[in-house]
Each structure stands twice: as structure tokens, then as C-alpha cells.
Amino acid sequence: GAGVSQSPSNKVTEKGKDVELRCDPISGHTALYWYRQSLGQGLEFLIYFQGNSAPDKSGLPSDRFSAERTGGSVSTLTIQRTQQEDSAVYLCASSLNFQETQYFGPGTRLLVL
Amino acid sequence: DQQVKQNSPSLSVQEGRISILNCDYTNSMFDYFLWYKKYPAEGPTFLISISSIKDKNEDGRFTVFLNKSAKHLSLHIVPSQPGDSAVYFCAASARVIQGAQKLVFGQGTRLTINP
């Protein structure tokens, strides 16, 4: 079946603009995660959704970052008033439930000028 | 505070030999460990995992060893093949505590297999 998909694959924006990144998880997966990988760094957890439960936002770096998951499927990560330090690869993953292996999408490469 | 560390940013191994990638962790509450492989411009791909109740898990050419007393795990690839050239990430989670697989990743090790 289809894997996790993300769009856009690349995004270049100017400092101060808002951006939206989209994630389509694997069909039937109830858990969805956002991570980011900054240059030379490992993956950093951002936020986690499980079913209809309140999301775990403990990894969001600032209040400029928010995410939602509509209908338990597609998720959007929004970064407001982007800063140059937001430049990174943003990765989405999904799993059958919170106990199972996470499968990653290809990522969105964000560059803030 | 880097809870999961991969101290070797790169490793070069000859084709056919064994590749050994190492990972150390500091959080004693971690009870589940995974290895992911990442090619350029792609997302990480799950390779193999191990629960803290085991000390070894094997899947084909890949074996993961866990030494809980040393808070150390390693991934062995044998024999190494050119297609194994990629960045390898070690990840850990504290399932019991958090009830969720909030993975903590290491910085990655770039493995190059030389023909």
C-alpha cells in the first residue's frame, strides 16, 4: 500500500512568512508524529497525535509552531513568522497505534531566507 | 541534553566485511530501541528493533545487541554491501513511562561501504 506522503517536498520562504506543511499518513494508522532534522543534527520530536486524544505538543520549540490533524488522518504543521533557524527537514511518521513501529515520509525541506 | 548519542559521525567499511555501528544512551527509562536507515532525500526506513527484555535481535544480515548495564547498543551488518551505504540513526523510547513511542534519536552515523 501507499506509504506516508508529505507535501511540498521543498519550500523556500522569506523570514516572517507563515508556512504550512502537510502529511498524509498510511491508511489505518492511528498515530501520527512530526519530527524535524536540522543540519548535522538527529531527528527532534515535535508533536504526536493518537486517535482522538489530545496531542502531545511537548516537543514544539515555540508558540509559532502548531499542528492539527483533521478527521484522524491528514495533518498540517504550521509555522508562523518563520525564522532562519526554522530551516530544516520536517519529517512526518505514522504507526498503526502508539506501540508499533513508526514509518516515515520523505520529508519537507524548508529553507527560510 | 543528548540522551541518545552516536559518537561516530562516519564509518567506512570494505564490502563483505562486518559493519558495527554504536549507540549510547543515558536515560535508564528507555525500554525500546530501534535502528533506522536513511538515504539522501528520503525519510528514515525502519531496520530493526529490540526490547529491553532482550539482549540480541537478529534479522537477516542485521543484528542488534543491547547491553543495558553499559547503556549501549550496536548494530552489526554482515556481510556489508554497497547498498548499505546510508546514514544510520539509533532511536530509543520509554514506552512504559510515556505510553507512546516518542522516539529520541541519535545524530546519525554515515556508513560508506567501499567496493
User: Min CA distance, B23 vs chain A (Å)?
Assistant: 13
Domain boundaries, chain B: 4-114
Best mutation target, A7, A43, A56, A96, to test chain B (most B CBs within 10 A): A43
Residues of B with CB under 8 A from a CB of A: 4, 6, 34, 36, 41-46, 49, 89, 91, 95, 99-108
Q: What is the mean pLDDT of chain B?
A: 92
The domain covering A5-112 belongs, at the CATH homologous superfamily level, to Immunoglobulins (2.60.40.10)
Q: Which residues contact A7 (CB under 8 A, 6 or more apart)?
A: A21, A22, A108
CATH 3.40.50.300 for the B4-114 domain, yes or no: no
Checking if the pLDDT of A1 tops 70, the result is no
pLDDT digits (tens, 9 = 90+) for B3-31: 999 999 999 999 999 999 999 999 998 99
The answer, for A2 touching chain B at a CB cutoff of 8 Å, is no
Report the pLDDT value the prediction gives residue A53, as an integer from 0 to 100. Answer: 81
Contact by Cβ (8 Å): A6, A105 = yes
Categorize the per-residue pLDDT at A87 as very low, low, confident or very high, splitting at 50, 70 and 90: very high
Report the pLDDT value the prediction gives residue B41, as an integer from 0 to 100. Answer: 83
Q: Who wins on pLDDT, A45 or B63? A: B63
**Cell numbers 532511536 label which residue?**
B91
**A99·B105 Cβ contact <8 A:** no
